[in-house]
Structure 1
Amino acid sequence: MEKLSNPQKTIETIKKYQFSFQKKFGQNFLIDEHVIHKIIRGAQVTKEDFVLEIGPGIGTMTQYLAEEAREVAAVEIDRKLIPILGETLSAYDNVTVINEDILKVDIAALAMEKNGGKPIKVVANLPYYITTPIIMGLFESHVPIDNITVMVQKEVADRMKVGPGSKDYGALSLAVQYYAEPYLVANVPANCFIPRPNVDSAVIRLTRHEKPVVDVDNEGLLFNMIRASFNQRRKTLQNGLKNSDLISASKEAIMDSIREAGLPETVRGEALTLEEFARLANILHRKMNEK
């Protein structure tokens, strides 16, 4: 069977099924074989692996994943793509297509059924609006994951990997780096897709930490502090925390905690490293629980 990475084959398949692209699903189909190989190498897929693919589209990447992995489960939300996938993946008996919203799939149960509960590898091509909920949902649910290799808008990839001092640094940077080590696999120009998107993309691999890089007494408080800090990023850290509905601590406890953490009273949240946020969260948590 001719691969869908051939643009003519992709166009032929789309026309055959009279498929119309859905803007709400952010559908852009990859048509560059070199990029596909980079993604699979970046994800470090082997014959031992069970791979969860999110957003297979017409099955372009799935065809290659099926040849490299032991088994693939491809979760596709658009029911109009299911008959197309039935044809394009007919040659592969190690692929299961699931017509569902990935946010509603019990991935832990899937990992147990298909991989005996061992860490799985996730490959995805995600529209911008759903990138963060899916990635954070995978990490926060504590599904056994080795790595997530994802195609996103380039600016989103930049946000995931930067540190303090950059305009791209924010809550997403800290949340991703809390759970995983980001690695930029490849930049992908817009002409590698049908239809051509308005922005360039990037592939980033997020390798899950075996153990947390920081010790945190209350994970929820840490993330609420991070959100509060960047919701009003031009304000000082103490004002951001004091004015936030996410933080129930008193103004005095917040100010005392910032001093005890050795931070200047005028510091902004965008200047703090993950380690500094964790230290501050632990101090504030202790003060909130003091009688």
Structure 2
Amino acid sequence: MKSKKSLGLAHRSLKQSLGQNFLRDKRILKKIADFAQIEKEDTVVEVGPGEGTLTSFLLEKAKKVIAIEKDSDLALLLREKFNREIQDSKLEIIEGDILDLKLEKNSYSLSEQKIVERTSTAENTARTSERKCFLRANLKNYVLVGNIPYYITGALFKKALETEKPPKSITFVVQKEVAERIMGSHFVKTSRDKSRGKESILSISIKVYGTPEYGGIIKAGSFYPKPKVDSAIISIRDISKKHFINAVEQKFFEILKKGFAHKRKLLIKNLTEVSRFDLDTLKEIFDKCGISEKARAENLKVSDWLCLAKKFSPKIPKL
């Protein structure tokens, strides 16, 4: 493990606003890279590489790694540390915010934003330029990996999954409780936490695109600085938009949000208050979908929500 002093530049540039927590245990870093199931022809897009500790393991597995780092000091550190890999076109360091990036069919782009490129010279000079598209890369087979700040978890999942060209898989280190919520009914219930095993708007929003897999807990002490809670590894496998065509995606999420609007109410009451259907019609729809009138939103599977969306919109194809 690295000591506090040996963190060097990373230690001096810690920024609370960026939610920086560096992983220090090489065994865990290797476990994350292994759990991502990276193939030799894959491009890995790494979010928040920090000091590059996970980057080293990703480079061993992928055809190329594209590391996106918001902290300018850390971006400079990475360019110095991985100079050879950059020269060999195995690694590209992009300084910017992943949430500002536009994920297009065959590229990442950042519009109307300044990109600061710092050289690895002794003077550490900087060059600022306006570029509509700062990266062109074949992203036919790409995976998204990262030890991400807790505060961007939901927004990043939404961005990655709803984009025109989603990754084939996502592997993130997230807050332990969030990972368990994503697993939903896939997670074993315990007497200590009655919420485990129930679905949430987050879990359904992710499962409609892919299959979550739990990779295990990472204790808080494995990070510097030490966060207040434990983390966990989670992967979303086999990502696709097979359930959605045309306006289906929008309608699905519209109904999902309405259904979870008041968690303690029965689902049918939530939908009665916001839909164009009367109670009798909704009861008929529930019966055709095999959903109990006593069900709450947290009790429904992805297939149930898709069935409801189909009944609410004739444009949605049959399951």
After TM superposition, the score normalised by the length of structure 2 is 0.78
Q: What SS does structure 2 have at the residue aligned with 1:37? A: helix
Displacement of 1:160 = 1.1
Contact 1:214 / 1:278 at 8 angstroms: preserved in 2?
A: no
| Pair 1:110 & 2:107 matched | yes
User: Partner amino acid for 2:158?
Assistant: M
| Pair 1:78 & 2:108 matched | no
User: Partner amino acid for 2:169?
Assistant: N
Change (3 A) 1:268 1:18: closer
Could you tell which deviates more after superposition, 61-70 or 165-174?
165-174
| CA distance in structure 1 between the aligned counterparts of 2:46 and 2:231, rounded to whole angstroms | 18
Aligned match for 2:162, one of 140, 149, 152 = 140
Displacement of 1:266 = 2.9
| CA distance in structure 1 between the aligned counterparts of 2:247 and 2:10, rounded to whole angstroms | 54
Q: What SS does structure 2 have at the residue aligned with 1:185? A: strand
Bigger share in helix: 1
| CA distance in structure 1 between the aligned counterparts of 2:243 and 2:41, rounded to whole angstroms | 28
Residue 219 of structure 2: aligned partner: 189
Aligned match for 2:276, one of 249, 259, 264 = 249
Aligned match for 2:141, one of 113, 116, 119 = 119
Q: Deviations over 1:71-101 (max 9, x none)?
A: 1111111223222222222342221111111
Residue 122 of structure 2: aligned partner: none
User: Partner amino acid for 2:276?
Assistant: A
| Pair 1:12 & 2:6 matched | yes
Structure 2: 5+ residue stretches without partners: 109-134
After TM superposition, the score normalised by the length of structure 1 is 0.85
Contact 2:103 / 2:163 at 8 angstroms: preserved in 1?
A: no
Aligned match for 1:68, one of 51, 61, 64 = 61
Contact 1:42 / 1:185 at 8 angstroms: preserved in 2?
A: yes
Q: What SS does structure 2 have at the residue aligned with 1:56? A: coil
| CA distance in structure 1 between the aligned counterparts of 2:7 and 2:222, rounded to whole angstroms | 17
Residue 96 of structure 1: aligned partner: 92
Q: What SS does structure 2 have at the residue aligned with 1:98? A: strand
Q: What SS does structure 1 have at the residue aligned with 2:68? A: strand
Displacement of 1:240 = 1.6
Residue 162 of structure 1: aligned partner: 184
User: Partner amino acid for 2:202?
Assistant: L
Displacement of 1:113 = 3.4
Displacement of 1:144 = 4.3
Change (3 A) 1:273 1:17: closer
Could you tell which deviates more after superposition, 69-78 or 81-90?
81-90
| CA distance in structure 2 between the aligned counterparts of 1:45 and 1:260, rounded to whole angstroms | 41
Q: Deviations over 1:186-213 (max 9, x none)?
A: 2111111100111111111111345636
Could you tell which deviates more after superposition, 158-167 or 92-101?
158-167
Query: Which residues of 2 match residues 34-53 of structure 1 at below 5 A?
Result: 34-53=27-46
